[in-house]
Structure 1
Amino acid sequence: MKNIFLSLATFLIAIATNAQIVGSNHTNYTEADTLRGSLRPERTNFDVHKYHLKLRIEPERKFISGSNTITFKVKDDLPVMQIDLFENMEIDSIMHHGEKLSYERKFNAVFIEFQEVLKKDTQDSIQFFYHGNPIIAENAPWDGGFVWTEDKEGNPWIAVAVQGTGASLWYPNKDHQSDEPEEARMDIAVPNGLMNVSNGRFVGKTDLGNGFTEWSWKVVNPINNYNIMINVANYVHFSDKYKDLDLDYYVLPYNLEKAKTQFEQVKGMMECFYEKMGPYPFEEDGFKLVETPYLGMEHQSAVAYGNKYENGYLGSDLSGTGYGLKWDYIIIHESGHEWYGNSITAADIADMWIQEGFTSYTEAIYVECNWGKEAALEYLKGTRRGVRNYSTIIGDYGVNAEGSPDMYFKGANLLNTIRSIYNNDELWWNTFRDYSETFKHKTISTKDTEAFFDQAIDAHLSPVFDQYLRNPALPILQLKEEDGNIFYRWKADVENFKMPVDIFIDEKEIRLNATSEWQIFKDEDDLDEIKINDLEFYINTEILD
């Protein structure tokens, strides 16, 4: 039963954290994987500055058509550019200064050849026209694609979720997390009577006179490709404020009163996150919750919400502690991604724990703000029941491969362990806020994260990160009693592993600076009187004869 429970818990965690673990942890990589996941001159020689999507959505045909104008700066001479678009989508033309460009398609990559080499340090743009029936998600958000459905009143209700699968499923872009446009505009035409809600600020709407109305939105901050979004429905809108931050909500009309009650949690969440993590990173674009026909997703400044206006995750508590039923999982978790995932983004999806581990930790931050540190520690310990420790948190680089689902709650418990190593909460929160500010609106690597948290303290965190991120197993604190003495050491995959750990004897907390070598604990107490502080340190323990 234990193995069945763990498998179920891991599945539920993947659901609750909206993991689209597509192609993760496999080793039979194809050329298509490399084209999507690697950085070559066709990608690195230009930097995207802006996407301008101008699309028409036809619900009855499940069809989209239009263009994306891609503005970019040439970083090095650029004869050929790679833009990504799933091969089931048809290309009408690719225009450059009024001339059609030739191109070659290979899997989901489009190689565009310029008539003359684009020179370094110039700014330019192409207009990419296309159409088609994008892939339909069978079980969004856990597989990528469009959701074409209806609300209870029979109105079309359309949404998209593509994290992991790729934004190139529905629009042409440089589909790699290392490059985000500095701004984006979405002009989305939908049938009259419906509304489209996208990221950023509402610019205006235009009746096109052909049965369609174009809804325009603009983002003025860097944004992940998979976060650029459309949401089409018969929405109603209401708003609120937290300090200078605009809070906007778009929901189905018959859920309006429930939404007004449930979304009150947002202001308390913002108060907590501002204190512990720093100000909301996209104030210029505002904050929105948008009701969707799937559970949720962290779409920047337009967070997808589908938790049925219940606390917990669809009424359940993934931690098993009771604390998870005191707040709406999707509001807190997906909004936490605005700081970690949307503002701070992993440059390669192999490092997605930077987004998911930190965001899972924001759940505990919210618990701590409302019910205290002990409650947060209990919540984090409860989430461990879904951690498998069967595969590495970090995936393979350059082939569009995520690590294991342990990146969520094992990642969060790793951060809590590092906080315990700090052993100084003031220093911890100062460092945590500094991290959020230092890497605001940046794409980074695990190495960047390691170096930042390592520099704040004397203890070296490198072996800790190596063990938890690059090896599947937890470190084991081995204890034995011999000749009246208690001995302790670490057993770990990392050579010469060392990490401090706290124990209790008669309710007195003692720090052991354990290494991979046996050390003697000089105390008169017996081994069975020692209790590991397993609320603050996520480890295994082994008593040797």
Structure 2
Amino acid sequence: MNKIFTLFCLLASTFLSAQIVGENHSNYTEADTLRGSLRPERTSFDVQKYHLKLKVEPEKQFISGSNVISFNVLKDMPVMQLDLFENMQIDSIMHGNQKVDYERRYNAVFIQFEKALKQGLTDSIEFFYHGKPVIAENAPWDGGFVWTKDKEGNPWVGVAVQGTGASLWYPNKDHQSDEPEEAQIDISVPNGLMNVSNGRFLGETDLGNGFTEWSWKVVNPINNYNIMINIGNYQHFSEKYKDLDLDYYVLPYNLKKAKEHFTEVKDMMACFYEKMGPYPFEEDGFKLVETPYLGMEHQSAVAYGNQYLKGYLGNDLSGTGIGLKWDFIIIHESGHEWYGNSITAKDIADMWIHEGFTSYTESIYIECQYGKEDALKYIRGIRQNIGNNRKIIGDYGVNAEGSGDMYYKGANLLNMIRSIYDDDELWWNTLRDYTKTFKHQTITTEDTEDFFDKATNVDLKPVFDQYLRHASLPVLQLRQADDKILYKWKADVINFEMPVDVIIDEEEIRLKPTTEWQSYETGEELDELKVNDLEFYVETEVME
């Protein structure tokens, strides 16, 4: 690997770890706990809807307005916790016609009701605020606003806040376990500009003060960090895939290029519909929106900034050349519509449910377009971006993601489970059932483990445990004993078991190693044995 490509892989792995907000450690602060934990101030209510109504002033890098938060009271609630970064100013919080008292602690806002809201009540508050939100120095690697201008000098504004938190720019219950059932986003911007947000376009209104309000509505559950604004001098074009509306918002000087480049979207949809099931937000449509940063999976308004290049900014994360056949951002970020947006991890510690599955969609697309062999080569190639130095699952309740290995180690884990199934029809049926069963739900790692484990007679629990909760790979230890080859696993998981396919004398056989020595009778020497490393991601060790 040359030095330039080595540097690129380091930068790419940084992107894949973008906005990881905490590592596995014990030095958590009160702010971490306030953001990451579920206490009565959060669990006593279920958010039903956000209605954002904001004015955005690009020249001042300033926003102001309100969010009406509708909710159901699940338990008697004297105090409600919402979240808004402490640099944003609160003007007032209204409950009915009354201002309510509140206390701020770090980025948390504790709203104190005069009388506890009673269980079973459907209610709302209106939260007025303003300020200059955090600016991202290098989005999407860090969270915040991007205030820039396009090549023609027009303001161009984007936001990326995954991990950092949507409360960076609007008040909400900033925890992945609770998604609003719908959202309306009314954003006023200077005349001549357009705002594109999630869901369906409701209309535009000239406010008569030099600003135009652009209104959008989402009618499906949506992650807080996916609710988004994109402001620019956009041009729009559209097409359809089956009954799904495909809309594109791009800068005018890129219109011709976009119409040619985005033809890949239909191929992607055909593949994903077949392998993973229908697009999960048909009512809200699908959009690609050109952004001044690389990309993000904003639900029904996917951020696109890959400069109309194949690969990842014209490079290949796998080092095989296969990654240069397709646009990484289109495929990866759109794959999140199924995994991350439709199926969401309840705790950010389980973000591999988003990133591992979505990284696997890259190989799914390759298999549809170029065949299984290329897909397997790509999966093996992306292992060069895996560190195996920290566990994939983070610490719960403190807003801490795990290792960036959640991306490509997660994808290799899924590819290996497919190989353990040893039945592609069963694999694709199980994957489609998974996306259907948990559609529009928040889930845990255990939900995922149980689902894929029940589909096969092989016990997958130790496999998930080793790859998700330990940093190192299992090691297949091998030893020659006359005309036999001895084999066993060395792993962190006690009594670890996992089948593995090996090739001996050009014949593939399945071994079923445990942590105890077993033998395979063969006339071949040990150096003739090779693990099928296209399908199994393990280490090997030859013992004396």
Q: Give TM-score scaled by structure 2 length.
A: 0.99
After superposition, where does 1:353-364 map in structure 2 within 5 Å? 353-364=352-363
Task: Give the secondary structure class of the aligned counterpart of 1:499.
Answer: coil
Name the CA distance, whole Å, in 2 between partners of 1:26 and 1:284: 42
Cα 1:2–1:305, aligned 2, differ >3 Å: closer, same or farther?
closer
Shift of 1:24: 2.8
Task: Name structure 2 gaps, 5 residues minimum.
Answer: none
Residue matched to 1:13: 13
* CA shift digits 1:82-111 (9 cap, x unpaired): 000000000000000110000000000000
Amino acid at match of 2:121: T
Shift of 1:6: 7.0
Name the CA distance, whole Å, in 1 between partners of 2:240 and 2:482: 66
Amino acid at match of 1:12: A
Name the CA distance, whole Å, in 2 between partners of 1:413 and 1:345: 20
Cα 1:284–1:70, aligned 2, differ >3 Å: closer, same or farther?
same
* CA shift digits 1:250-272 (9 cap, x unpaired): 00000000000110000000000
Residue matched to 2:249: 250
Shift of 1:27: 2.8
Shift of 1:229: 0.2
Identity %: 74
Task: Name structure 1 gaps, 5 residues minimum.
Answer: none
Residue matched to 1:397: 396
For the Cα contact (< 8 Å) 2:235–2:251, is it kept in 1?
yes
Shift of 1:460: 0.5
Name the CA distance, whole Å, in 2 between partners of 1:99 and 1:124: 13
Amino acid at match of 1:154: G
Shift of 1:13: 2.6
Amino acid at match of 1:355: H
Say what the alpha-carbon RMSD is for the aligned residues. Answer: 1.3
For the Cα contact (< 8 Å) 2:505–2:524, is it kept in 1?
no
Worse overlay, 477-486 or 507-516: 477-486
Name the CA distance, whole Å, in 2 between partners of 1:381 and 1:502: 15
Name the CA distance, whole Å, in 2 between partners of 1:228 and 1:251: 19
Residue matched to 1:540: 539
Whether 1:216 aligns to 2:215 is yes
Amino acid at match of 1:414: L
* CA shift digits 1:231-251 (9 cap, x unpaired): 000000000100000000000
Cα 1:537–1:294, aligned 2, differ >3 Å: closer, same or farther?
same
Name the CA distance, whole Å, in 2 between partners of 1:516 and 1:202: 58
Amino acid at match of 1:364: S
Name the CA distance, whole Å, in 1 between partners of 2:291 and 2:7: 28
Residue matched to 1:418: 417
Shift of 1:304: 0.2
Task: Give the secondary structure class of the aligned counterpart of 1:514.
Answer: coil
Whether 1:190 aligns to 2:189 is yes
For the Cα contact (< 8 Å) 1:200–1:302, is it kept in 2?
yes
Residue matched to 1:91: 90
Cα 1:513–1:3, aligned 2, differ >3 Å: closer, same or farther?
farther
* CA shift digits 1:377-430 (9 cap, x unpaired): 000000000100000000000000000000000000000010010000000000
Task: Give the secondary structure class of the aligned counterpart of 1:385.
Answer: helix
Name the CA distance, whole Å, in 2 between partners of 1:404 and 1:3: 25
Residue matched to 1:153: 152
After superposition, where does 1:220-235 map in structure 2 within 5 Å? 220-235=219-234
Q: How many residues align?
A: 544
For the Cα contact (< 8 Å) 2:498–2:512, is it kept in 1?
yes
Task: Give the secondary structure class of the aligned counterpart of 1:267.
Answer: helix
Name the CA distance, whole Å, in 2 between partners of 1:24 and 1:238: 42
Residue matched to 2:434: 435
Q: Give TM-score scaled by structure 1 length.
A: 0.98
Residue matched to 1:25: 24
Cα 1:288–1:152, aligned 2, differ >3 Å: closer, same or farther?
same
Amino acid at match of 1:405: G
Name the CA distance, whole Å, in 2 between partners of 1:6 and 1:58: 41
* CA shift digits 1:445-482 (9 cap, x unpaired): 00000000000011100000010000000000000012
After superposition, where does 1:92-491 map in structure 2 within 5 Å? 92-491=91-490
Name the CA distance, whole Å, in 1 between partners of 2:508 and 2:414: 21
For the Cα contact (< 8 Å) 1:289–1:304, is it kept in 2?
yes
* CA shift digits 1:43-93 (9 cap, x unpaired): 000000000000000111100000000000001001000000000000000
